Amino acid sequence: MVETFLNRRTQRRAARHTGWTAAFYADATVVYPTPFWIARAQPRPAPQRISLPGLDEPIGLGMGVQIQSEPCPVGDHIAMRRVVAPSSAAEPVAFADGIEIAPLFDALARDTTFRRTLTLWSRQVGEARAARLFAWAWRSGWLAPVPQRNTGGSDAPLLD
């Protein structure tokens, strides 16, 4: 279990580091436009301004986000914990703001909204902490809008 934890953590950190260095190389090409820097450069991703959903907007797990078990540091030991795992190179998260977060994500119903999620999470962790955790998960893309299906007449196409 410890070996699995260390291997996964090293792979994720290497991928994240590769992205960071490519952006730094791009900065260097401005001052030193030599083949060395240009070959390694990639533009920095543009920052995105993300607004929270409407209170009654349907939400769910973001694309590629999974709840799974992984070895995690817990105190001075490595133990299996349920984590929220993004599809990106970001590392899975077991704890945020002092809370084990997988149970919060497990509790999301298929037809939930921002309001229902905030109410449910507030009962479990308090209103202020629930709001912070939701905003963080939303900005991270771990929670996302769920497209609504058209429930019109039988001739109305379904939106996916």
Cα torsion through 143, 147, 151, 154, rounded to 10? -140
Smallest CA-to-CA distance from 95 within 86, 83, 87, 106 is with 83
pLDDT tens readout for residues 26-40? 888 888 888 888 888
118/111 Cα distance (integer angstroms): 14
pTM of the model: 0.64
49/72 Cα distance (integer angstroms): 31
pLDDT tens readout for residues 125-141? 999 999 999 999 998 88
**Residue 14: what residue type?**
A
pLDDT tens readout for residues 75-126? 888 888 999 988 765 788 888 888 899 999 988 877 789 999 999 999 999 9
